[in-house]
């Protein structure tokens, strides 16, 4: 979107023209925090072309002017130019007569900020350099928060007009300003709620799976059980999944059915998986503290699109065969102990629409 200001009364935004400047709510940005770069591409969201910059500065009847609203990232915004003295007073000249031009961005439709009542955004301001035929990009890399209590954000005392005019080599005192605004992670408004913790005390926990005739088995073995009103399956790959190249035992937990997941919620599961040993803990000799009999702890998420989780490199097959007590009378015992199962429910964002006024 573009707006042009010529040698006439500046075209301001009627929704904000009579509002007092909120000086106390505008943050200061230090000079060493501002990054200035160059680019050829025009600003993506808004361009303000001023045909007579001195006329604009000398004839402003208010300490600021807010220009026509534009839409970006699902919200409406307005570019505001303040006249600020060196001591920070809006519109009032300092003792040496220096007056700075300060660009700010105001959000116009605060009633559509969603249930959080706030959004975060990155702002880039632009000034066109006619001789270079490129735009100066002005930013500080900081995320700005907009809310009902803080509707504006920008740079205070950014440009001194006489130096600004000379430095940009403005032809006939015409210039262009530009704005880009990017809302940061709007999906954060969605959020999640841990709505319940499923009771595991009434369940058979830990789950024990006894596998007989182990030396004659190969491929995939499965064991179904119920836990927390859901149907689960332990999957044991006796020669491992393909990626481990037949060197490891692989164990997975698969969610077969859950009313919570079928209704759109997610489950967060904390559990321990182990190959149960009939012998005392027997770590390898030497300085290594590796003990194949110790459980592997996991934190797993289950949803309609993610139903299987586990350890492809659960245990080396060599350790399984060489560690006393893991294979007992050609039987192997897999144990799954559930510490907690949480039901996670999405908090849907409130819809917002751009104000058409």
pLDDT score at 349: 53
Which CATH number goes with the domain that contains 216?
2.60.210.10
Q: Are 179 and 126 in contact (CB under 8 A)?
A: yes
Average pLDDT over residues 301-322: 92
Is 354 part of any domain? Answer: no
**One domain, residues 57 and 148:** yes
**One domain, residues 34 and 177:** yes
Q: Are 192 and 309 in contact (CB under 8 A)?
A: no
Q: Which of 106, 138, 96, 118 is nearest to 17 (CA)?
A: 106
Provide, rounded to the nearest whole percent, the portion of the chain with pLDDT above 70.
67
**Do β-strands 308-316 and 220-227 pair in parallel, antiparallel, or remain unpaired?**
unpaired
What count of other Cβ atoms lies within 10 Å of the Cβ of residue 277?
19
Bond before 206 cis per omega within 30 degrees: yes
**One domain, residues 63 and 115:** yes
**One domain, residues 163 and 255:** no
56 vs 14, residue with greater confidence: 56
Q: Which of 172, 128, 132 is nearest to 6 (CA)?
A: 172
Average pLDDT over residues 236-253: 93
pLDDT score at 280: 60
**One domain, residues 258 and 311:** yes
118 vs 237, residue with greater confidence: 237
**Domain final residue, candidates 136, 165, 188:** 188
Q: How many domains does the chain have?
A: 2
**Domain final residue, candidates 147, 162, 188:** 188
Structural domain harbouring 289? 193-346
**One domain, residues 99 and 151:** yes
Is 353 part of any domain? Answer: no
Average pLDDT over residues 80-98: 59
pLDDT score at 154: 84
**One domain, residues 129 and 201:** no
- What confidence category does residue 49 fall into, taking pLDDT thresholds of 50, 70 and 90? confident
pLDDT score at 337: 93
- What confidence category does residue 176 fall into, taking pLDDT thresholds of 50, 70 and 90? confident
- What confidence category does residue 140 fall into, taking pLDDT thresholds of 50, 70 and 90? confident
Lowest mean pLDDT among 95-109, 226-240, 311-325: 95-109
Query: What is the chain's mean pLDDT, rounded?
Result: 77
**Dist CA 32 CA 95 (whole Å):** 25
pLDDT in tens, 179-216: 999 887 655 555 667 766 777 766 788 999 999 999 89
**One domain, residues 240 and 280:** yes
pLDDT score at 8: 40
304 vs 353, residue with greater confidence: 304
Is 203 part of any domain? Answer: yes
pLDDT in tens, 3-27: 654 444 334 444 444 443 343 344 5
Q: Are 339 and 270 in contact (CB under 8 A)?
A: yes
Q: Which range in 8-22, 60-74, 211-225, 340-354 is most confidently predicted, on average pLDDT?
A: 211-225
Average pLDDT over residues 218-235: 93
Q: Which residue has the tokens 């039901």?
A: 343
Q: Containing H/E element for 341?
A: strand 331-346
**One domain, residues 49 and 155:** yes
pLDDT score at 19: 44
- What confidence category does residue 288 fall into, taking pLDDT thresholds of 50, 70 and 90? very low
**One domain, residues 184 and 197:** no
């Amino acid at each position: 979107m573009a707006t042009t200001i010529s040698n006439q009364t500046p075209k301001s935004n009627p929704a904000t023209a009579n509002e007092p400047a909120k000086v106390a709510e505008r943050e200061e940005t230090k000079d060493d925090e501002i990054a200035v770069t160059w680019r050829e591409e025009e600003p993506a969201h808004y361009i303000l072309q001023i045909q007579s910059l001195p006329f604009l500065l000398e004839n402003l009847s208010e300490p600021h002017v807010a220009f026509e609203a534009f839409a970006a990232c699902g919200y409406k915004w307005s570019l505001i130019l303040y006249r600020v003295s060196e001591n920070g007073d809006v519109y009032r000249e300092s003792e040496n007569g220096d007056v700075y031009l300060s660009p700010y961005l105001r959000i116009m439709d605060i009633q559509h900020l969603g249930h959080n009542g706030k959004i975060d955004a990155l702002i880039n301001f632009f000034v066109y350099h006619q001789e270079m035929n490129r735009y100066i990009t002005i930013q500080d890399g900081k995320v700005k928060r907009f809310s009902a209590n803080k509707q504006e954000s920008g740079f205070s005392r950014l440009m001194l007009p006489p130096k600004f005019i000379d430095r940009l080599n403005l032809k006939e005192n015409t210039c262009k300003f530009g704005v880009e605004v990017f809302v940061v992670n709007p999906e954060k408004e969605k959020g999640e709620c841990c709505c319940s913790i499923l009771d595991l005390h009434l369940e058979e926990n830990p789950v024990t799976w006894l596998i007989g005739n182990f030396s004659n088995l190969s491929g995939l073995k499965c064991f179904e059980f119920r836990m927390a009103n859901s149907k689960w399956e332990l999957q044991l790959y006796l020669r491992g999944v393909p990626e481990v190249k037949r060197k490891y035992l692989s164990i997975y937990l698969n969610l077969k059915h859950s009313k919570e997941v079928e209704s759109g919620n997610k489950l967060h599961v904390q559990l321990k998986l182990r190959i149960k040993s009939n012998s005392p803990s027997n770590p390898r000799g030497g300085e290594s503290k590796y003990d194949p009999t110790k459980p592997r702890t996991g934190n797993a998420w289950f949803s309609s699109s993610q139903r299987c989780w586990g350890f492809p490199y659960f245990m080396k097959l060599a350790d399984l065969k060489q560690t006393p007590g893991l294979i007992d009378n050609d039987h192997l015992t897999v144990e799954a102990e559930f510490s907690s199962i949480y039901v996670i429910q999405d908090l849907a964002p409130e819809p917002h629409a751009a104000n058409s006024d």
